[in-house]
Amino acid sequence: MDINKRSILWIVFAVSLVILWNNWMVSTGKPSMFAPAPAKPAVAAASATAGGVPAAATVAAAAPAAGEAAAPAPIKTEVVTITTDVMRVDINTLGGVIQRLELLQHKDGTDTAKNQVLFRKEGKHTYLGETGLVGAPGLPTHQTAFVAQPGARMLNGGDKVQLVLEAEQGGVKLTKTFTFKKGDYTVDVQHAVTNTSAAPLSPQLYLQLKHDGWEPEGSSWMNPSFIAPTMYTSDSKYKKYEFKHIEKDAKWMSENPGKESPADHVKKASDGWIAISQHFFVSAFVPQDKLARDVFTKKEGDNLYSIGVVQPLGTLAPGATVTNNAKLYTGPQDTDTLKKVSEGLDLVKDYGWLAIVARPMWAAMDAIHSVVGNWGWTIIAFTVAIKLLFFPLSAASFRSMAKMKTVTPKMTAIRERHKGDPQKMNQAMMELYKTEKINPLGGCLPILVQMPVFIALYWVLNASVEMRGAPWALWIHDLTKPDPYFVLPVLYAISMYITTRLNPQPADPMQAKMMMFMPIAFSVMFFFFPSGLVLYWVVNNLLSIAQQWVITKKFETGEAK
């Protein structure tokens, strides 16, 4: 009996241990020992995000069940490289994704030994071009394995080269055809969709650009770079929608699930384009025109964002095929080229808040350059033109300053006579100005008028890829970068010193010292400015000195009144 009791106690103890162990396994997230193993899906469904575009898919290799045939081996994917005279492009057959694009005729902004690279996926940086279908389960997306058809991968003396990718799943055959042309940064992107099922389908095509939100290399407070999603439609016009705005939208949507995105940009259109804009370069999808599309922006992951469009392709009967023709421009922000690609695409050139002045200024400089052929001499010729435009204003200002210089002894006497009475001194000064017909603020007016020109020219130089790497003469090899030997800033300081000496000297010693210190302060600041901008200011000062010297001499000799 005692033996039976001990046996029962051991059994209860053993069962208790098993139950306690099982409960501990479940509490730590492990499967129960008594539960059946869950079936492993072959492919997990892609999760939908804003715009209906799939975000990510998880592929699991499921073991075949008893009596089932073994699963087919996964399709082999590869990276196909297409090379033209202006670009080298890597396209992954996994999704037909453009994962690297190198511009062969533009050097990197920070390392001139390398070419400029736009699309890429390396380290923390992601910049991709993706397309695919949504609207029904299992359709080919940018996560589907495609098969590259045989063909040339280089121009080989021809005018164009094509890459054809094919995939069939979900009752649809999708054929992507990328056409690259000689001397062209525009890639034709065609999608041919065939319904291979026995029922009608209503697929939708999406085109999207994906980019990380990290600050670009080489950006500084004096010469800032930027990367931002941009878009344009004929109704809503140009819109820059920065990554921080998308981040804010994503946070709002996480706090308000099920509600429509609060994104403050156009969401439906029938024309236009979407792009990723950056300093000097842009990548833009131009969807097929006059076809309805939804425009979306979304957060893809940690510091990763996308902008794109979704276009309905209509209802496809079994065996029917529909073709969609889009364009992808990836290259420099050359004004004339951008205008030819699509309406409004030239607006990606960021001229800042003085665009209304900068755009006509650029048009004038471009016209001069077509004759001169050198951007340095273009800036000099443009400076002369601006000086001629403001000549009457400058002449009036210099005459006023010359008069003030001739009456300086009278002004000094008034200050001495009314040294203890500032009110009477000011009244006497105003009487003197009135008698001599002097405008005390006349010397400031030309500077104030030219400041918008100066600021607009800064933006023109900062935004115009046409001047990127453009030399002037001798030591100036890039007008968009600072003078490497600081020659122009020193010349500017000298010219400013001469200008200060030509002007009437302030009676206040402290003010006089400040006027002498200003040329040095500006010269130090100009060490970091584009050399083209400093060139403009040096030439402007030299012309002003000549004009002011002539007018001052005339007053001193009594030839002018």
Q: Which of 333, 319, 271, 265 is nearest to 296 (CA)?
A: 265
For the chain, what is the total number of helices (H) and then of strands (E)?
Answer: 12, 19
pLDDT score of 234: 92
Q: Mean of the per-residue pLDDT values for the chain?
A: 81
Whole-structure pTM value = 0.76
Confidence band, pLDDT 50/70/90 cuts, at residue 7: very low
Confidence band, pLDDT 50/70/90 cuts, at residue 447: low
Confidence band, pLDDT 50/70/90 cuts, at residue 389: confident
* Residue 507 near residue 429, CB atoms below 8 Å: no
Cα angle for residues 127, 133, 134 (degrees, 5° grid):
110
pLDDT score of 137: 92
The answer on pLDDT for 525 being more than 90 is: no
Buried b (16+ CB within 10 A) or exposed e, 220-244: eeebebebbbbbbbeeeeebbbbbe
Lowest mean pLDDT of 25-39, 374-388, 499-513, name the range.
25-39
Query: How do residues 411-420 score in pLDDT, each as one tens digit?
Result: 777 777 877 7
Confidence band, pLDDT 50/70/90 cuts, at residue 300: very high
The answer on pLDDT for 514 being more than 80 is: no
d(C-alpha 475, C-alpha 452), whole Å:
29
CB-CB neighbours of 199 under 10 Å: 10
d(C-alpha 464, C-alpha 351), whole Å:
9
Q: In residues, how long is the chain? A: 561
Q: Residue 522: in which H helix or E strand, if any? A: helix 509-526
Q: Which of 451, 529, 531 is nearest to 224 (CA)?
A: 529
Stretch 118-134: mean pLDDT: 94
d(C-alpha 204, C-alpha 201), whole Å:
10
Domains and CATH numbers, the chain: 79-350 (2.70.98.90), 358-556 (no CATH)
The answer on pLDDT for 360 being more than 70 is: yes
